[in-house]
A and B are shown apart, each in its own frame.
Chain A
Amino acid sequence: MRAFNYHRPSSLKDAAALAAKQAEAKYLAGGQSLVQAMKLRLSAPSDLVDLNAIGDLKALKADGSGVTIGAMVRHAEVAASSAVQKAIPALAALAGTIGDRQVRHMGTIGGSLANNDPAADYPAAVLGLGATIVTNAGKHEADKFFKGLFETALKPNEIITQVVFPVPKRAAYMKFKNPASRFAIVGVFVADFGGNVRVAVTGAGPCAFRQADMEKALAAKFAPESVANIKVKADGLNNDLHASPEYRAHLVTVMAKRAVEAALK
């Protein structure tokens, strides 16, 4: 890890001011991706602005009207929250499959979304549920947030404060894991808002994306057979040792079908 300066502001305002002063500052949330990248010297910020002391980023609220997760809420808290389990069980279940136990105790939703790893789980839920990402500078709709590989709509030094999820009629997330890293090779989040269905895919492309053909078919009939025969185009999908674009395309269909099955259970 290269040397850096460390800051622990206690307010959002101070955090943004500190980051603005440095050319190469980065916010530190749980650190589960950033610290790893820094260890391998893939990332070398001049300054780390730790958001852990900022109290108002840690709230978690859930009821029949929506789920609001503070940016610094850990994955394990979301997974274990009975309120989230009741409001959007698929969201709690998704949080409970991110990384591993130890990672879930540190990793945060804000960190995950800001990082926008192509194989991360949360982007599938945010996009699949059409969540709103609230920041210190305003709001981002999910559909306009994920811009590309590790790229989001966040402006430099903008800080995610919370994520607001609407409650669907039913939803589910299915992922096929990379056997080594355990990140998603393909993850599909399906949410039925009663007539309006959203299908979001992670792991398969440069960032999470929606699958329009499946959404249309499921809106007509929310059933596994509606998607079982939808062939996804392999063009532009990720290619690595573990999965070719063709295999990923195939898995999108399989995981979508299984997600619908799970949502109906």
Chain B
Amino acid sequence: MAVKVSMKVNGKPVSAEVEERTLLVTLIRENLRLTGTHVGCDTAQCGACTVHMNGKAIKSCSIVAMQAEGADILTIEGVAKADGTLHPMQAAFKENHGLQCGFCTPGMVMNALEFAKGHPNPTEQEVRESLEGNLCRCTGYHNIVKSIVAGAKAMAGGR
């Protein structure tokens, strides 16, 4: 059994024939070959699969692709400028050493990006709380928190 699912991913319309049970993350990784969105758990805790759906950060492992029918999806591959320049949030992660192995990083950045839109000048504590749905095993979060504080300020300043 297969169904057709259509949506916009990183600004481009896409459609695919998939099994009904296909998760959004599977569609993104396997059908669209956008492998920057990662899977780190099977219980919706790690947040490595975070993407934006209609502007909101969601866990793409926790919905079936059909739930995103007609939606506007943004993945980590669509964040940098077309010329490859890093988005201020990505740049902040780099400058503040907010990543080590890089596996949780796309999810961290996607969550942070959307969080920062509502929090242009967040406190460290607000940032820590905003990361409840994202696990990192490398950085001890110290530099991720620094990165997001800096990235949010850079985003606010850049507008």
Contacts and interface: CB of A to CB of B under 8 A. Distances in A.
Contacts of B57: 101-102, 105
Contact of A52 (B20, B50, B61, B67): B67
B62 interface: yes
Top 3 nearest A-B pairs (CB, nearest first) are A100-B133, A100-B132, A6-B20
A50 B67 contact: yes
Interface in B55-72: 56-59, 61-64, 66-67, 69
Interface residues of B, number: 31
Interface stretch (A33-41, A153-161, A233-241): A33-41
Contact of A101 (B20, B61, B115): B115
Contacts of B69: 8
A105 B44 contact: no
Interface in B83-138: 111, 114-115, 130, 132-134
Contact of B1 (A1, A5, A52, A76): A5
A3 B64 contact: no
B64 A6 contact: yes
Given A6-B64, A105-B57, 5 more contacts: A3-B20, A6-B20, A76-B56, A101-B111, A181-B45
B133 A36 contact: no
Contacts of B66: 6, 8, 50
A5 B20 contact: yes
A4 interface: yes
A48 B20 contact: yes
Contacts of A52: 67
B19 A3 contact: yes
Contact of B42 (A4, A6, A30, A40): A40
A235 to B, nearest CB: 30
Interface string A168-190: 00000000000001100000000
Contacts of A5: 1, 20
A135 to B, nearest CB: 22
B132 A1 contact: no
Nearest to B70: A53
A6 B4 CA distance: 11
A106 interface: yes
A94 to B, nearest CB: 15
Contacts of A35: 23, 62-64
A103 B130 contact: no
A148 interface: no
A31 B133 contact: no
A102 B52 CA distance: 9
Contacts of A4: 20-21
30 contacts: A3-B1, A3-B20, A3-B21, A6-B3, A6-B20, A6-B64, A6-B66, A28-B67, A31-B63, A35-B63, A38-B21, A39-B61, A40-B43, A48-B64, A52-B67, A100-B132, A101-B130, A101-B132, A101-B133, A102-B47, A102-B57, A102-B58, A102-B59, A102-B62, A102-B111, A103-B59, A103-B133, A105-B58, A106-B58, A106-B62
